[in-house]
A and B are shown apart, each in its own frame.
Chain A
Amino acid sequence: MNRMARLIDITRCTACRGCQVSCKRWNELPGEIGPFTGSPQSHTDLSPNRWTMIKFFEEKKDSGFEWHFRKTTCMHCGDPGCVKACPNGALVKAENGAVRRIEEKCIGCGYCVKGCPFGIPKVDQVAKKMRKCTFCYDRISNGLTPACAKTCVPRAIVFGTWNDMAKLADERLLQAQKKYPNAQIYGKDELGGLGVIYVLPDNPANYDLPVHPKLPFSLGLWKDVVHPAGKVLLGAGLAGTALAFIVSRRNAFGQKESAKMEEGGHDNE
């Protein structure tokens, strides 16, 4: 199966937040009425029961005032840090590009939270499970589009194969550049190609995105160096000790035999 992706065109989003509602509807998540946030944005961040949300950005520029809305969601990275950090194999990268969580294996340890450069995974501390966008794995593996892309009125969220979306992003970029000369594409080259390709009106930093997302250095050190080396060391230690045990028995057998007889075999205690 081809790798699938979503194109999210910030220049087209109207912040109707239909995606936010349809996500909750398809995934049967409860509404969470929070306090007023100081802007039309509904909440400050994602939560275990809120896998996508629109973040509002007011920008005062020399060219005038601009108001942009970015759909925040799991990027389903090509090189996902969460999958690397997961100690129990509860996160897997599916063939169609979805970074999927296996419910039974997840223990809510929160290591994925540390591994994610975008701060997407959220741990439900009561249920001890991490929850995040599933890329509507149940829908896309049955030939449907994700709930958010299905509901998007201005076609700001488009779903398709990664290659198609990368091509479409180039077309959308040309349109966007007429109005926003600084417009750019985000997600084509980052972290092995993100599963979400953004068309941004300006620099990613203006929209709460890391400009050069990177997996934390400690994560690579931990999982690529310390982990296998530790296993080898521990295995070697155990094997060496076992070998030494056998050799020592052999060596000591002769001299110990007499002593054993005298003391009544105390070393079997």
Chain B
Amino acid sequence: MSKTKMIKRFSAVVRFTHWMYAISFIILAITGYMVYGSELDWMEPMFGGLTGATVVHRVAGCFLIASIVISLLIRPSEILSWIRECFSFNKNDVGFMLTFPYKFLGIKKKIPPQGFFNGGEKVNSLIQITSGAVLIVTGLFMWLTPDSAPLWMYPLHTVFMVIGSAGAIGHIYLAALNPVSNEAIRAIINGDISEKYMIENHQQWYDDVYKAAKKKEVK
């Protein structure tokens, strides 16, 4: 294992906007939680009190929206293919989700061949896309039209905060702390993964790339 072949997974723009989104999301979650519950109130002085936290919440919200806009402007094809794949949930993804509890507890299991994104990533993406969209829309209404924003937007914002945060907790755990899958974090930091990991976890994707490469050769 002196030199493993590395495969490019995510472009620099996508990696940058992912982290921009992630950092904004964590700040939003923390400052938002101060309004929601009292468990994080000890952090308030860091943001200049709760009043400051609400300002930080809005600024972080702008950064979160900016990260989406930037990625869509510079690499629309990459983002659109991601969204397209997330909504094409197939049998292999279901198969992946069945083995997911083992993976979550750190037990390696044979998984059906996965595409560029595996079933779990698709589920997380779907959670983040819907909750992100709802949170941004309700949040903008609550911020910009506080007088006319209907009251049901507030519980809706809370519901999707809980769903999005729960998804994010699982996502962070799987990527950074779970010993089975945490090799994947390399893809979003350095942009590439080893071929070995690719074959193990993204068989379908490997085949696609391999076939495309072969076709090229034939031509």
**Interface residues in chain A, defined as those with a beta carbon under 8 Å from any beta carbon in chain B:** 87-89, 105, 107-111, 113-115, 128, 216, 218-219, 221-222, 225-227, 229-231, 233-234, 237-238, 241, 244-245, 247-252, 255-256, 262-263, 267
Contact = CB atoms under 8 A, between A and B. Distances in A.
Pick the most buried of B1, B166, B170: most chain A CB atoms within 10 A of its CB. Answer: B166
Interface string B182-211: 100000000000000000000000000000
9 contacts: A87-B36, A111-B154, A218-B155, A226-B162, A237-B169, A248-B104, A248-B177, A251-B105, A252-B108
Interface string B114-157: 00000000000000000000000000000000110011101100
A111 B49 CA distance: 18
B64 interface: no
B158 A222 contact: yes
B154 A233 contact: no
Nearest to B53: A107
Majority-rule SS of B interface residues? helix
A109 B54 contact: yes
Interface in B1-44: 1, 35-38
Contact of A241 (B54, B159, B161, B169): B169
Contact of B105 (A225, A234, A248): A248
A251 B37 CA distance: 35
Nearest to B161: A230
B13 to A, nearest CB: 23
Contacts of A114: 151, 154
Nearest to A262: B1
Interface residues of B, number: 35
Interface of B: 1, 35-38, 49-51, 54, 104-108, 146-147, 150-152, 154-155, 158-159, 161-162, 165-166, 169-170, 173, 177-180, 182
A249 B35 contact: no
Given A107-B50, A230-B162, A252 B179 contact: yes
B166 A237 contact: yes
B37 A231 contact: yes
A153 B60 CA distance: 55
B106 A251 contact: yes
Contacts of B159: 226, 230
Nearest to B106: A248
Given A87-B36, A234-B162, A237-B170, A263 B1 contact: yes
Given A107-B51, A248-B105, A255-B108, A230 B158 contact: yes
B54 A107 contact: yes
Contacts of B182: 267
Contacts of B162: 226, 229-230, 233-234
A44 B165 CA distance: 44
Contacts of A249: 106, 179
A105 to B, nearest CB: 8
B111 to A, nearest CB: 16
A222 B35 contact: no
A264 to B, nearest CB: 11
Contacts of B49: 107
